[in-house]
Chain A
Amino acid sequence: MTIMKKSIILFATALFALVSCDKFLDTLPDNRAEVNSVEKVAALMGDAYSRTDYMMVTELLADNMDNNKAVITSYADRFFEQVWNWEDVTESNNESPENIWQNNWGSIAAANQVLEAINEMGGKENPELAPYYGEALMARAYAHFLLVNIFCLHYNTKTSTTDPGIPYMDKPEQGLMPQYERSNVAEVYKRIDEDIQEGLKYVTDNYAVPKYHFNVQASYAFATRFYLYYEKPDKALEYANRCLGPIPALRDYDELNTYPDKATASAAYVRSDMKSNLLLQTGASNQGLFWGNYSGSYKHFGHTTNLALTETIFGRVPWLGENDSFSASNYRFKPRNYSSSRLRYTIFWNVPYEFEVTNPVAGTGYRRTLYPAFTTDACLLDRAEAKILLHDYVGACEDLNLWSSNMYTTPVNVTPEQVTEFYNNMDYYTWQEPTPKKHLEPAFEIDEEGSTQECMLQYVLHSRRVETLGFGIRWFDIKRYGITIYRRVSDGDGVISSISDELKPDDLRRAVQIPLRVRDAGFEANAR
């Protein structure tokens, strides 16, 4: 009997143990966080910004780099070769399409996680949470915007309803290997539009480090670019006006010029207290080596002096007299010419090369760079383009003159007529006889070649190419305006000896191939 009793007691104890076990096992295994406060929501928002840049890839794809292989004998990185040759990338790299893919979807996941936490904590009606609600929507829209622009053909009103898009993620992923269907580009653009419209209502400037978050001005700058890409120049104009205000605070080049050393100036270019920088992003990147004075393997593909002279930095501009020389001294932030043996290159050196040291004793870590995702200068040019598309050429010239007067040492004041005349006197680009003027074949309607509109567009595209050199924006203009570009082989002495490929407006390679592993997992590849 006593044994029975004892057994019962033991059994009862065991049962009690079982019940209390779940509580015992609720102890978190490590120092992971639970997002349950406003502070943590704010902190998680920091994860909604990609820590990998797209500019390395888009810059290599665009027409800002020629092949210097003939001059450089050091080891060439195969990843750079594949990207520059518009091939499907098989090599891995911190800046590979796979990392662009993963990091931007990661930003979206963080934004969705924030939105979920906000929802659980009372939603956007809670005034403390509302700014993060807005920010999360903007960040989610921006990451989708980059993904769709990189991995899909560019948006247009004609084919985008059938062009394969990407999914639009509005909640955290569940499950190990969910399968997704590709929607279409138009659908993605529509969803981005919705997020921007909702997000703009709530964004503020009250973030701990506002320049690394979608503050109000950055949000407007993003909206401007989005609507420009969405073929809605009227809306682009509206948001650009809001972003820039009556007197745009453009980049203070005089201050940058005080730096004795270009490497330090490049770090100052992306300082958060520069008013012109609206949103800053960082990336594990080699871009600083490509666009700084670092020789060797990072100059296999480079912005040669020949390119600078014929197309970009020293490409002819309307305000310059026909016989006037155009040199570094015309710029307030002076571009530099470098040469080593037969290799010559010209750069602004505004993409900093920095190093994050994970182990200072061993000296190991990551190469990093910073870049302004949005600036007032670029927004001003976006507004100029919107005005041109809306046929307001005088207004566009005002913007272009404002931008130019800040960029160059001479005050610039050109009229639409001067621009038209200037560009009509210029030959269209051929790969042997390069000029800044390339045939524009956008999917949307523009006036015929030689028209004021076309000439004004040539001017604004050229200005943007100079403004964003090294920051990867040119590729999107090439896609939007159907510009044909070539893979040119330079012999280093400024002579283009041959081309290896060309990219016509209808070339499907304008959509970067879906990364290999993603395709392997069943995601529909881009047609080739």
Chain B
Amino acid sequence: MRSKLLTSLISAGLLLLGMATSFAQTKTVRGTVIAEDDGQPVVGAFVTVQGVSKIGTLTDLDGNFELKNVPQSAKNLVVSFMGYQDETVPVADKVKVTLKTDNELLESAVVTGMTSVDRRLFTGSAAKVDAEEAKIAGIADISRSLEGRVAGVTVQNVSGTFGTAPKIRVRGATSIYGSSKPLWVVDGVIMEDVVEVDAEDLSSGDANTLISSAIAGLNSDDIESFDILKDGSATSIYGARAMAGVIVVTTKKGKSGHSSINYTGEFTVRLKPSYSNFNIMNSQDQMSIYQELEQKGYLLYAGTVNASESGIYGKMYSLISQFDETSGMFGLPNTPEARAEYLRAAEYRNTDWFDKLFTYNLQHNHSLSMSGGTDKGNYYASLSVMDDPGWSVQSSVRRFTANINTTYKISSTLSVNLIGNASYRTQRAPGTLGSTVDAVNGAVQRDFDINPYSYALNTSRALDPDEFYTRNYAPFNIFHELENNYLDIDVTNVRFQGELKFKPIKQLEFSALAAYKYSGTSREHYILDDSNQALAYRAMQTTTIRDSNSFLYTDPDDMFAVPVSVLPVGGIYQRTDNKMNGWDLRVSANYNQTFAKIHTLSAYAGAEVNSTDRHSSWFRGWGIQYDMGEIANYDYRVFKKGAEENSQYFTMDNTHERRAAFFGTATYSLKNRYSINGTIRYEGSNRLGKARSARWLPTWNVSGRWNISDEPWMRKLQPALSHAAVKLSYSLTGESGPSWVTNSNVVIAAYNPWRNSVNDRETILTISSLANPDLTFEKKHEFNVGVELGFVDNRINFTGDWYKRNNYDLIGRTNTQGIGGEVMKYGNVASMKSDGFELSLTTQNIRTKNFKWTTNLIYSHSHNEVTKLYTNLRVIDLVRGSGFAMEGYPNHSIFSIPFRGLNEEGIPTFVDQDSEYNKETGELKEHISTTGIYFQTSDPDKMHFLEYSGVADPTDLGSFGNTFEWKGFRLNIFITGSFGNVVRLDPVFKARYSDLNSMPREFKNRWVVPGDENTTTIPVIASRIQNTNDGHLSYAYNAYNYSTERIASGDFIRLKEISLSYDLPKKWAKAIYCNNMSLKVQATNICLLYADPKLNGQDPEFFNTGGVAVPVPRQFTLTLKLGL
């Protein structure tokens, strides 16, 4: 009743306004609006005169309307109502309008994965990305295509290798130790990772990053759209798992009455990296450095010939001492002339490692899909194959996917949807071992690393690519090693799911969903007989080498033993298997009812259970003779050695995840203008152990929306202001925290303590985590305000969101008194706050019959600050490039050691921790020294000398896209940018160098003679004497690597994509029996338009950590699409 009054009042007001401005001859139009689907009158439908926005009215309870003052010239009326298509009818005295339901749900609905919500009632912050538009041709992993597409979503391609997940953040970090990874939901089913790789490890380059992407098995052509749910209101239906946002993927379905068969072919060529983009010395400059090293007492015969690693000089010395009995000649005469000549040859070598280690191999991807349907059912089926022979040597990938999605209507009330999805991938990568961090100086090292990219960057260009040099006392040549030391990865993913929908009456729908997921991966590391890694196990050319080669074995039980090889023949075979089995069951009910035509209530409630079991096993076999029919001939001592050293022979590990949840959400809407929504979810998890106290977490949200533009009094602003809405939400969501913190009860695990004698071995149980009964979920309160605006008939669309988050109960590491047995414990001790805004603007600048120019602009900013975290960190933790959390600073902050110039010997000086800090004034009395930096210090009083440099995660993100369409042509230029972070430059400075190292060009400006300290900041190459005089010199050089000199801004603007596509005219297509055909040329990752010059070619997004990590290449892709 009240609403009718309100309607009348507003209508009257509008009419008054209308009258005041219309003096022309007018008439009155009356009519009725009914809905097609149920034949009932439509209440509150908006009726307006086409082209005269000032006149408009709403239908009453019986669906009737009366429109006065309609100009005689008016031709058409437009009737609109939410959930129905707009209807245009000719003006007549008496009209009857029938509204058809809007089937284009995707356009008007937000898919939350479990259900979909009418966009005009949606109270949260979410963005939809059309997969077709976002897709980056030639990049098979769809998650990368989200870069720059959605405000508030950052995608950092920390490695470009296929299968590695990019680092995706929705509105920034939500946790300190947790992964902050968004939840991926595909067709309503949560995707679980087969291995849990946390955020830091994504950039580690370790082999398990190759299987870190849960969705690498999805064919990008099968995807219809992405919905990115950002705020707590949007994600609250996932409550206790959704703290870091949700990405919902909807795959393609068949459409009734429309059948088609489509082919997509992509052909990609990638450019080789070039030295011109990097700051690496040429071989002449490099050799001059080696000569300086020689003058300074390094690279002399004695220390080099038996060294574990050596390059040009080591080779020269070994040639000098190599006597050929038949010719009676030495490999190289030991004369100054011969040596000079040998070294001169190296000066001119300028080996282009990039050219030799990278290829122009053509990557191609073929995808074939069929879809169709009738009233009874529809289907979509596809197959795809991706074949990538590899950008660099030994990095090929082949992937096959199959996907089927069918829906069948058994009766008018019952329908069933079946989805099957399978993918298989086989991949090759350079052999790699896990990296380790040196605790003393924080240097990350990886033994036997043969990553082509980092090899090219870090290896002297003076080396001969056809020659073998020395690594681990054994001969080493990168090409030979890549051929003899590689990883084969096999990944199988399958997903089966079925959903039954029962709709007894129009308003109510029950559904039951069951899904089963399986992932199986195996990683086989082949270390062949002749690989450097195998030969290192038998390198004992001289007794010096025999006694210093740590890969040899000395039997402790034999008092006369000398070092022997435990791998006298053959190579090593390592295998890691990871399996994941998961199932989901969900029952839900959906209720939608409109009362009295103006009150709409929709409610959704359900329950789900999920189970995920992960299994991993690992095995290492010794002495496999790859050359001799692949038979193992192992030395028994390898087991004896292993038992004595307490190293594992094989391992296995099982984990089980169980979740159960009950949820409900309800939206009430008045006249579709005012909506309020509430959601609650009650989730239980077994992750925190058997303790009941921490098992369950209720999460909730309340939110509201006001569609201002639907207010009758706003109608007069049409079409200038064609759309306006405001949203508010407040929510609580959670996350169960880092995977290793599960100690509600004491965690006791088996362990083999080290004993020197095999006889004394015993397996014990050890307390790996003390009980923390207070352990609970990490939580987040979020307040979100959103605005949606459309101008000029929605040709200009603007959405903006502002949010404030309060993350609390975060897992942090805290100091305790240690009396329980652990000094540092993980617990819910930390909190963090963040806020930010997101803007996106889409404009159709020009829209004519043949030409269309559309611009997309996205900008977002987020800021966070750790508000509570009581822990003390070592200097090394704070200065490392990955950043760290510290109270009062943003998460992932990076500090630097303040550099204070070079001293008169060319050694860098710094403000050190002996600087006196005045607590009252906050002033620091600087104490300057060369080697006074204690990296292990954790005393908070001695940390004041450090300088805050910035944060490792970008705070601002933007993208700018322009699309020009002319007839069948479409040109797309897409620029992305990211700002606000800092990057630690590669740690290239050392107290001692070897003749394998390559050096960046800044070494040219290094300190050489006294006085240079006034003009340069590049430290001297320390002589042997300098190293002898100051045993701590390595501290100075390490400090330099972590100083204010070695930090750069991470801001960049990247020309991400330029593409030109052409849809061939239909008649041309018909000529080759196609319905449609299109061609597209796309250039991706073209260049950095802006980056800090200090980076000197270092990609600010990419972490060069070796292993299996390579950056995303520059590439050109030709796409061919055919539709039959």
A and B: real partners? yes
Task: Verify if B572 is at the interface (C-beta below 8 Å from A).
Answer: yes
B1028: A residues at CB distance < 8 A: 73
Task: Verify if B598 is at the interface (C-beta below 8 Å from A).
Answer: no
A180 touches B817 (CB 8 A): yes
Q: How far, in Å, is A121 (CB) from chain B's closest CB?
A: 15
Distance in angstroms between the alpha carbons of A272 and B759 in the assembled complex: 9
A73 touches B1031 (CB 8 A): yes
B757: A residues at CB distance < 8 A: 271-272
A211 nearest CB neighbor, chain B only: B760
Picked from B572, B939, B1031, the residue with its CB within 8 Å of the CB of A76 is: B1031
Task: Verify if B505 is at the interface (C-beta below 8 Å from A).
Answer: yes
Q: How far, in Å, is B1076 (CB) from chain A's closest CB?
A: 46
Of A43-51, A187-195, A440-448, the one contacting chain B is A43-51
Distance in angstroms between the alpha carbons of A14 and B510 in the assembled complex: 14
| Known contacts A18-B662, A43-B763, A90-B938, A26 near B686 by CB under 8 Å | yes
**8 Å CB contacts to A: which residues of B736-776?**
742, 746-751, 753-757, 759-768, 770-774
B764 touches A47 (CB 8 A): yes
| Known contacts A10-B510, A109-B820, A360-B647, A172 near B770 by CB under 8 Å | yes
Picked from A14, A29, A359, A360, the residue with its CB within 8 Å of the CB of B657 is: A29
Task: Verify if A33 is at the interface (C-beta below 8 Å from B).
Answer: yes
Picked from B654, B742, B746, B750, the residue with its CB within 8 Å of the CB of A113 is: B746
Task: Verify if B1089 is at the interface (C-beta below 8 Å from A).
Answer: no
Most chain B CB within 10 A, of A7, A21, A260, is at A21
Of B22-30, B95-103, B822-830, the one contacting chain A is B822-830
A interface residue count range (under 10 / 10 to 19 / 20 to 34 / 35 or more): 35 or more
A358 nearest CB neighbor, chain B only: B647
Task: Verify if B642 is at the interface (C-beta below 8 Å from A).
Answer: yes
Most chain A CB within 10 A, of B685, B689, B746, B765, is at B765
Interface string of B996-1012 (1 = CB under 8 A from A): 00000000000000000
B447 touches A364 (CB 8 A): yes
Q: How far, in Å, is A143 (CB) from chain B's closest CB?
A: 10
B1034 nearest CB neighbor, chain A only: A75
Picked from A14, A28, A173, A211, the residue with its CB within 8 Å of the CB of B656 is: A28
A33 touches B686 (CB 8 A): no
B874: A residues at CB distance < 8 A: 92
Q: How far, in Å, is B877 (CB) from chain A's closest CB?
A: 11
Interface string of B372-408 (1 = CB under 8 A from A): 0000000000000000000000000000000000000
Picked from A76, A98, A174, A354, the residue with its CB within 8 Å of the CB of B823 is: A98
Interface string of A486-528 (1 = CB under 8 A from B): 0000000000000000000000000000011110111100000
Task: Verify if A363 is at the interface (C-beta below 8 Å from B).
Answer: yes
Of A99-107, A123-131, A395-403, A415-423, the one contacting chain B is A99-107
Distance in angstroms between the alpha carbons of A33 and B766 in the assembled complex: 9
Picked from A14, A26, A174, A516, the residue with its CB within 8 Å of the CB of B771 is: A174
Distance in angstroms between the alpha carbons of A169 and B762 in the assembled complex: 27
A3 nearest CB neighbor, chain B only: B504
Picked from A26, A177, A368, the residue with its CB within 8 Å of the CB of B814 is: A177
B828: A residues at CB distance < 8 A: 176
Task: Verify if A322 is at the interface (C-beta below 8 Å from B).
Answer: no
Task: Verify if B692 is at the interface (C-beta below 8 Å from A).
Answer: yes
B753 touches A175 (CB 8 A): no
A521 touches B756 (CB 8 A): no
Most chain A CB within 10 A, of B815, B825, B934, is at B815
Task: Verify if B90 is at the interface (C-beta below 8 Å from A).
Answer: no
Task: Verify if B816 is at the interface (C-beta below 8 Å from A).
Answer: yes
Task: Verify if A427 is at the interface (C-beta below 8 Å from B).
Answer: no
Distance in angstroms between the alpha carbons of A252 and B469 in the assembled complex: 50
B551 nearest CB neighbor, chain A only: A363
B939 touches A176 (CB 8 A): no
Task: Verify if A35 is at the interface (C-beta below 8 Å from B).
Answer: yes
Distance in angstroms between the alpha carbons of A297 and B556 in the assembled complex: 25
Q: How far, in Å, is A8 (CB) from chain B's closest CB?
A: 12
B556 touches A267 (CB 8 A): yes
Picked from A106, A352, A518, the residue with its CB within 8 Å of the CB of B817 is: A518
A174 touches B773 (CB 8 A): yes
B822: A residues at CB distance < 8 A: 102, 106
Distance in angstroms between the alpha carbons of A261 and B760 in the assembled complex: 23
B742 touches A30 (CB 8 A): yes
Q: How far, in Å, is B618 (CB) from chain A's closest CB?
A: 11
A361: B residues at CB distance < 8 A: 433, 447-448, 527, 533, 572, 574, 620
| Known contacts A18-B662, A40-B765, A105 near B819 by CB under 8 Å | yes
Q: How far, in Å, is B586 (CB) from chain A's closest CB?
A: 11
Q: How far, in Å, is A427 (CB) from chain B's closest CB?
A: 37
Interface string of A105-121 (1 = CB under 8 A from B): 11111100100000000
B814: A residues at CB distance < 8 A: 176-177, 521
| Known contacts A360-B645, A360-B647, A176 near B774 by CB under 8 Å | yes
**8 Å CB contacts to B: which residues of A323-378?**
352, 354-366, 368, 370
**8 Å CB contacts to B: which residues of A1-16?**
2-3, 6-7, 10, 13-14
A75 nearest CB neighbor, chain B only: B1031
B613 nearest CB neighbor, chain A only: A27
**8 Å CB contacts to A: which residues of B576-596?**
587, 589
Picked from B533, B587, B939, the residue with its CB within 8 Å of the CB of A90 is: B939
| Known contacts A34-B748, A259-B559, A358-B647, A17 near B607 by CB under 8 Å | yes
Distance in angstroms between the alpha carbons of A271 and B607 in the assembled complex: 61
Task: Verify if B149 is at the interface (C-beta below 8 Å from A).
Answer: no
Picked from A44, A178, A360, the residue with its CB within 8 Å of the CB of B641 is: A360
| Known contacts A46-B753, A73-B1031, A76-B1031, A26 near B759 by CB under 8 Å | no
B819 touches A180 (CB 8 A): yes
Task: Verify if A158 is at the interface (C-beta below 8 Å from B).
Answer: no
B767: A residues at CB distance < 8 A: 44, 47, 106, 109-110, 113
B interface residue count range (under 10 / 10 to 19 / 20 to 34 / 35 or more): 35 or more
B588 nearest CB neighbor, chain A only: A10
A518 touches B815 (CB 8 A): yes
Q: How far, in Å, is B872 (CB) from chain A's closest CB?
A: 6
Task: Verify if B636 is at the interface (C-beta below 8 Å from A).
Answer: no
Q: How far, in Å, is B534 (CB) from chain A's closest CB?
A: 10
A273 nearest CB neighbor, chain B only: B759
B819 touches A282 (CB 8 A): no
A517 touches B823 (CB 8 A): yes
B742 touches A29 (CB 8 A): yes
B653: A residues at CB distance < 8 A: 30-31
A76 nearest CB neighbor, chain B only: B1031
Task: Verify if A247 is at the interface (C-beta below 8 Å from B).
Answer: no
**8 Å CB contacts to A: which residues of B556-610?**
556, 559-561, 572, 574, 587, 589, 607, 609
Distance in angstroms between the alpha carbons of A229 and B536 in the assembled complex: 53
Distance in angstroms between the alpha carbons of A92 and B938 in the assembled complex: 9
Task: Verify if B779 is at the interface (C-beta below 8 Å from A).
Answer: no
A98: B residues at CB distance < 8 A: 818, 823
A178 touches B817 (CB 8 A): yes
Q: How far, in Å, is A61 (CB) from chain B's closest CB?
A: 19
Task: Verify if B260 is at the interface (C-beta below 8 Å from A).
Answer: no
A282: B residues at CB distance < 8 A: 753-756
B818 touches A31 (CB 8 A): no
> What are the 4 A-B residue pairs with the smallest beta carbon separation, nearest first?
A173-B820, A46-B764, A109-B821, A106-B821
Q: Which B residues have a C-beta under 8 Å from some C-beta of A?
A: 433-434, 436, 439, 447-448, 504-505, 508, 510, 527, 533, 550-551, 556, 559-561, 572, 574, 587, 589, 607, 609, 620, 641-642, 645-647, 653-660, 662, 684-690, 692, 695, 742, 746-751, 753-757, 759-768, 770-774, 814-825, 827-829, 872, 874, 934, 936-940, 942, 1028-1029, 1031-1034
- Apart from A34-B748, A173-B770, what 11 extra A-B contacts exist at CB < 8 Å? A24-B658, A32-B689, A43-B765, A46-B762, A172-B771, A173-B821, A177-B816, A272-B759, A370-B756, A515-B823, A517-B872
17 pairs across A/B with beta carbons < 8 Å? Answer: A2-B504, A25-B660, A29-B657, A32-B749, A51-B754, A91-B936, A93-B936, A102-B823, A169-B819, A174-B771, A177-B814, A177-B829, A178-B816, A272-B757, A359-B434, A365-B647, A517-B815
